[in-house]
A and B are shown apart, each in its own frame.
Chain A
Amino acid sequence: MRLDRRQFHSLALAFLTNGIVTHNARAAALDPAADRAVLALNRLSFGASAAAIEAFNGLGKRGWLDHQLSLRPEDDSALAGRLARATLRIEYEAGNDGKGHDWPARKADIPYRHLNATGPEILALINYDKPMDYEERIRPAREVQAASLIRAVHAEAQLREVMTQFWHNHFNVNALRDETTAANFPAYDRVMRDTALGNFRTLLGQMARSPSMLFYLNNEASRASPANENFARELLELHTLGAENYFNALYDDWKAVPGAVDGEATGYIDQDVYEVARAFTGWSYGDGRWIADGDEAPRTGAFHYIDAWHDPYQKRILGHEFRPNGAPLSDGDRTLDLLARHPGTARFISRKLIRRLVLDAPDDAFVDATADIFLAYADADDQLAQVVRFIVMSHAFDTTPPQKLKRPFEFLASLYRIAGAEVASPSLDFLWHLGRAGWAQHEQRPPNGPSDLTEEWANTNTVKGLVDLAFNAFEDWFGVTGFDPAAATPKTVSTWSYGFAHWVGVFGGDPTEARVMLAEMGEDPDAPLPLDNPEWNGWLMRTALGMSALTPHFLFR
């Protein structure tokens, strides 16, 4: 009989609590495969719930991966139902726009309405002739923030959610930068999710045309001349080639960059940044903006290319000559073509993906082999799925022990998944608590996104923050779940030690530790649980849950 860790522990618990052997427990030993399932799920999902472990073990790693990669975002009707039923509070005081228009105070729990908003609906939110509170204007971003936790906890396509978060981190946007960035943010979230396992060039093109990104990095305002360099620089440094291929300290002339004179520059310098900025002049937004006298952008609430703002003359990017007066959008799109197929981009993205899915410091051979897959599938619709598959099926994936500390969002989502909690209509207070632990969900201001290196998270602030999350996540005032650990504790459990042992087991620990914990608490392990005092008993079981989660087994992936 092969038992996974959870089954083993429930049997151990039965043994412990009843003093009798109900199953063939004495013959059971911890199955290393079960730990492998937990580890794989901690890397490829937002937490190894009992159901997920069962599914993983049933299908095997390859089968589970095939299934996950086959799931399309639109297939998850259960998740769609959850999002349709979810509500989110909107609350503000009465106010006015300073032009004589008032609005009343509002406090209401209302459904998400903006996740699929049309261009005109978005424009209505950023129409400053229409008086409304700031909270109304940024509401779409708030809905995405709230929905992100529902998705992480409940989406069937867990790997897609993990990858969606990866791309959000990679193509970081502070959704609350301004009202336009916020109002357009659901579309940005869709781009990240829909193409999370698709083709990188496609993702890059959609990102570069996304109004949220255009506003966040100011490209919507970039016109000839001089161009605004903000987007161009981050496109090269953060989105494609990476700082490892920025050679500005070595070369101050494009011809000096290795390979450049042959049109195969191995990296970039500031001259490429200037040229890329010129290539993207005019990539802007259809909000009726003034272009020139008698000329306005259309009011589409979507990407809009303004040819009059574009710098049309010849350019040289990574050693490639761009002829003057190219077709509309062609300078930018050709730039993206060059970047998406560049070996430097392949290595940079591959290293980051391995870092997310396996370990912080992969060896070069692993990165290079992954980059080869990235380039080999450059034209494939499922390029990124192939890269992920290669990483997950690698020897390193199976042999690397857990060593990455869960970041605060992953920690919180996995708490709910392992406990079996329902996250139906989270209030946004959880964002503040994540912030205290160092995580800004869709609100990170600098464009480099949150770090994915454990050494950046292994500090007092995050350790303290994770402890607070463990003890607060199930409190009513936390506002995320109505899940009551006391109600979820089996009715047969009657003493403190049994109660604590239950939650230790749920989180994959050794239930016999419960007695040690209770000794540290100065409590009698054999005292009956205060079942006649639900408030106290509820708090006690939430405490048991929190203490059970703060183990190496649960904290590391």
Chain B
Amino acid sequence: MAEPIVVVIFLRGGVDGLSLVAPAGDADYIAARPGEIRVDRKGHDAGRVLGNAAADADFRFHPQARELSELYGAGDLAVVHAAGLTDATRSHFDAEARMERGAPGAGDGGWLGRWLRAVQPDGVLPALAIGAAAPDSLRGAAEVAVAEDLSGLRLAGGHGYSTAIRATMARRLGDNAVIGAPLRRLLTLSGVLEDLIALDKDGNLKPYEPSVDYPDSPLSQSLLTLAQTIKLGLGLRVATVDYGGWDTHVGQAGTFSGLVAGLSGPLLAFWRDLGKHQERVSVVVMSEFGRRLKANDSGGTDHGHGNAIMVLGARIKGGRMLGRWPGLANDALDSGADLAITTDYRQVLSELMSGAMGFADNAALFPGFAPGSSLDLLR
């Protein structure tokens, strides 16, 4: 079997985990949130009940998360609630950097970068960051390619002198200390992609034809590229996808619904599109922090703490909520304000990397982290 793949979808901005997987029956939750930014228990907009919940709080997915609910029901998706970065930061950028580096102090790259350095996977495209820049998690590894789609990995593609341009750039900049490594990767990938993918009459790579339709969402574009990459057999092992806009300080209700729909539908489409490749793919959906239990006075929520992490995969014991639910009573909250954290996010990632990726050296990925008792995440 081809080698396993881990995908990290990062919900930038701090997703409101209390709306994504809501303790809809919790009295403190009901008291703290105005109706429009709370998941209902009945009516046409009621949330979707999760079986095997972590506590007796009538946990429900957001009503727009129909497909997440479906994946959960099928046993492919697990939810770890009250999880996150135990550090007390409520800064987006600080929290993202700490989580993605996965180690105290900076300087030795991100946790996926450390995995790449330790494993040194071969293959022409072992690591792909989908977007305009690589996240901190991939920092420190030379193997990383960054692109919004595969045509973004083709240097001077379609130019009548593309071969010469590549040769000229290799000569001038191939050993450049700053851009030599990404340039060399582009030069390799340009040739490989042109061999694998047919060109249209204008000389562009023909677009990917998925096996299912993806809904209209910015995330769909990223996941289409990812599915294509996996199917092409380019040796992909780790991929990152950013899906932002979750910083809902104001007017959360409408924004959040759209974002959840834009996450849920594409994720299911991607999963189905993978077909037989599902077997070797695991997907983590995470964010830098959750949001405040109480709403602010502008219909939004401010930066919080504990949050839901979702894990999707054929190897995942899904259809279950994992971790301990601390409750939302004032003395159970972090700083009296936010969902407390009972599961370190590194626990989730460690189990995934060891169980699904066969890499058990947690200390190499997360220096200084001592794993706690197992969440029993993997089959």
Q: Map CB proximity to B onto A102-132 as digits: 1 under 8 Å, 0 otherwise.
A: 0000000000000000000000000000000
Q: Map CB proximity to A onto B239-269 as digits: 1 under 8 Å, 0 otherwise.
A: 0000011010110000000000000000000
* A45 interface residue per 8 A CB criterion: no
Q: Map CB proximity to A onto B279-315 as digits: 1 under 8 Å, 0 otherwise.
A: 0000000000000001111111011000000000000
How many Å lie between the Cα of A229 and that of B303 in the bound state? 8
* Residue contact B154 to A243, C-beta cutoff 8 Å: no
- Known A-B contacts A243-B91, A461-B132, A550-B172; the reply to A446 vs B12 at CB < 8 A is yes
* A493 interface residue per 8 A CB criterion: no
Q: Give the residue of A252, A405, A438, A464 whose beta carbon is less than 8 angstroms from that of B154.
A: A464
Residue of B nearest to A438 (CB): B132
A276 to chain B, nearest CB (A): 13
- Known A-B contacts A405-B179, A438-B133; the reply to A228 vs B302 at CB < 8 A is yes
- CB neighbours (8 Å) of A225 from chain B are 297
* B335 interface residue per 8 A CB criterion: yes
- CB neighbours (8 Å) of B294 from chain A are 226
B218 to chain A, nearest CB (A): 11
* A-contacting residues, B332-379, CB 8 Å: 335
Q: Give the residue of A270, A463, A520 whose beta carbon is less than 8 angstroms from that of B168.
A: A520
- Known A-B contacts A230-B250, A243-B94; the reply to A517 vs B168 at CB < 8 A is yes
Comparing A321-329, A409-417, A450-458, A479-487, the segment that makes contact with chain B is: A450-458
* Residue contact A460 to B153, C-beta cutoff 8 Å: yes
* A-contacting residues, B148-185, CB 8 Å: 148, 152-156, 159-161, 164-165, 167-169, 171-173, 176, 178-179, 181-183, 185
Comparing A36-44, A79-87, A186-194, A215-223, the segment that makes contact with chain B is: A215-223
Residue of A nearest to B182 (CB): A460
* A448 interface residue per 8 A CB criterion: yes
* B39 interface residue per 8 A CB criterion: no
- CB neighbours (8 Å) of A222 from chain B are 296-298
- CB neighbours (8 Å) of B298 from chain A are 218, 221-223, 228
* Residue contact A228 to B186, C-beta cutoff 8 Å: no
B129 to chain A, nearest CB (A): 8
* Residue contact B88 to A552, C-beta cutoff 8 Å: no
Residue of A nearest to B164 (CB): A521
* B87 interface residue per 8 A CB criterion: yes
How many Å lie between the Cα of A67 and that of B168 in the bound state? 40
* Residue contact A229 to B296, C-beta cutoff 8 Å: yes
How many Å lie between the Cα of A465 and that of B146 in the bound state? 11
- CB neighbours (8 Å) of A227 from chain B are 296-297
B283 to chain A, nearest CB (A): 22
A481 to chain B, nearest CB (A): 19
* Residue contact A218 to B144, C-beta cutoff 8 Å: no
A539 to chain B, nearest CB (A): 8
Q: Give the residue of A237, A273, A462, A539 whose beta carbon is less than 8 angstroms from that of B93.
A: A237
* Residue contact A445 to B94, C-beta cutoff 8 Å: no
Q: Give the residue of B93, B146, B189, B296 whose beta carbon is less than 8 angstroms from that of A459.
A: B146
- CB neighbours (8 Å) of B297 from chain A are 222-228
* Residue contact A229 to B302, C-beta cutoff 8 Å: yes
Residue of A nearest to B165 (CB): A547
* B134 interface residue per 8 A CB criterion: yes
Tell me which of B93, B132, B144, B165 has the highest count of chain A C-beta atoms within 10 A of its own C-beta: B132
* Residue contact B161 to A218, C-beta cutoff 8 Å: no
- CB neighbours (8 Å) of B155 from chain A are 463-464, 467
* Residue contact A246 to B179, C-beta cutoff 8 Å: no
- CB neighbours (8 Å) of A248 from chain B are 88-91
- CB neighbours (8 Å) of A550 from chain B are 165, 168-169, 172-173
* Residue contact A446 to B133, C-beta cutoff 8 Å: no
Q: Give the residue of A270, A405, A446, A517 whose beta carbon is less than 8 angstroms from that of B92.
A: A446
* Residue contact A461 to B249, C-beta cutoff 8 Å: no
* B145 interface residue per 8 A CB criterion: yes
* B84 interface residue per 8 A CB criterion: no
* B113 interface residue per 8 A CB criterion: no
How many Å lie between the Cα of A446 and that of B87 in the bound state? 22
How many Å lie between the Cα of A248 and that of B167 in the bound state? 51
* B-contacting residues, A227-244, CB 8 Å: 227-230, 233, 237, 243
* Residue contact B186 to A463, C-beta cutoff 8 Å: yes
* Residue contact B182 to A471, C-beta cutoff 8 Å: no
How many Å lie between the Cα of A556 and that of B155 in the bound state? 19
- Known A-B contacts A436-B148, A456-B133, A460-B186; the reply to A273 vs B90 at CB < 8 A is yes
Tell me which of A226, A552, A555 has the highest count of chain B C-beta atoms within 10 A of its own C-beta: A226
* Residue contact A463 to B249, C-beta cutoff 8 Å: no
Interface pairs (20), CB distance under 8 Å: A218-B298, A222-B297, A222-B298, A226-B294, A226-B296, A229-B303, A237-B94, A243-B91, A246-B89, A273-B90, A437-B132, A457-B133, A459-B129, A460-B145, A460-B185, A460-B189, A463-B183, A467-B156, A471-B159, A550-B168
Nearest 9 interchain pairs by C-beta: A438-B132, A221-B298, A521-B164, A230-B249, A459-B146, A461-B146, A218-B250, A229-B302, A520-B167
